[in-house]
Structure 1
Amino acid sequence: MMNYDFTDIDVNALVGKRIQKKRKELGYTGMQIAEKIGVSQQQFSRYERGMNKIDLSYLVLLANYLNTPIYWFFEDCFIPKSSSEHSRIDKCSNIIAEATPDVFSY
């Protein structure tokens, strides 16, 4: 069993940063993404800044639109307590990613 330190994790901020990273990487504006998932540009900005929790249904739409597996948005949320476990986590992540059915790949 892996041991994680969840005491100082701001999931909303980490997921928001990942959303912003992928959006910019693909060259989309916040307005374009907001329109695609059906929220205001201001609301989408709050998601990216971690001020508001993004609804899971919006995150699924976003993952589809950005052609990104949904688990990618959560990868920064898991911080192992020891660096020795880091390689085990990477191996587990790779195994999970390889075993994930195509239905979850966007």
Structure 2
Amino acid sequence: MQRVSKATPSSERDRQLGQLVRERRKERGLTQAALAEHLGVSFQQIQKYERGVNALRVTHIDRLCRILGVEPLYFFPEYTAGLPRPAASYPEVCRAPS
């Protein structure tokens, strides 16, 4: 009998979400370690999120929006295609030192 691995490969959506996190983190001038500290996870966890190895929890997406200064729909562009951009934005919580 052949043994079947219980590990499931990362979904394409997790990789896309991780790429958006990485791009926005870099735009904000934050390191993985700084983002991890603000989010309350290890920098290794940020690496896994950014590579799409681990899926982001909903509570982390909400906190990421606040930390990175984006609206939740930033991470779900497929839902906003063709829609006008909302006037209100999430407040900025942190910024890399100048």
Both structures adopt the same fold (TM-score exceeding 0.5): yes
Give me the TM-score of the superposition, normalised by structure 2.
0.73
Runs of 4+ in 1 over 4 A off after TM superposition: none
Show the counterpart of 2:38: 36
| Root-mean-square deviation over aligned CA pairs | 1.7
Gaps of 5+ in 1: 1-8, 79-88
Show the counterpart of 2:74: 72
The alpha-carbon deviation at position 44 of structure 1 amounts to 1.0
Show the counterpart of 2:12: 10
Show the counterpart of 2:81: 90
Identity %: 30
Structure (1/2) with the larger helix percentage: 1
Show the counterpart of 1:48: 50
Structure 1 contact 14–74 (Cα < 8 Å) conserved: no
CA distance 1:54–1:90, change in 2 (3 Å): closer
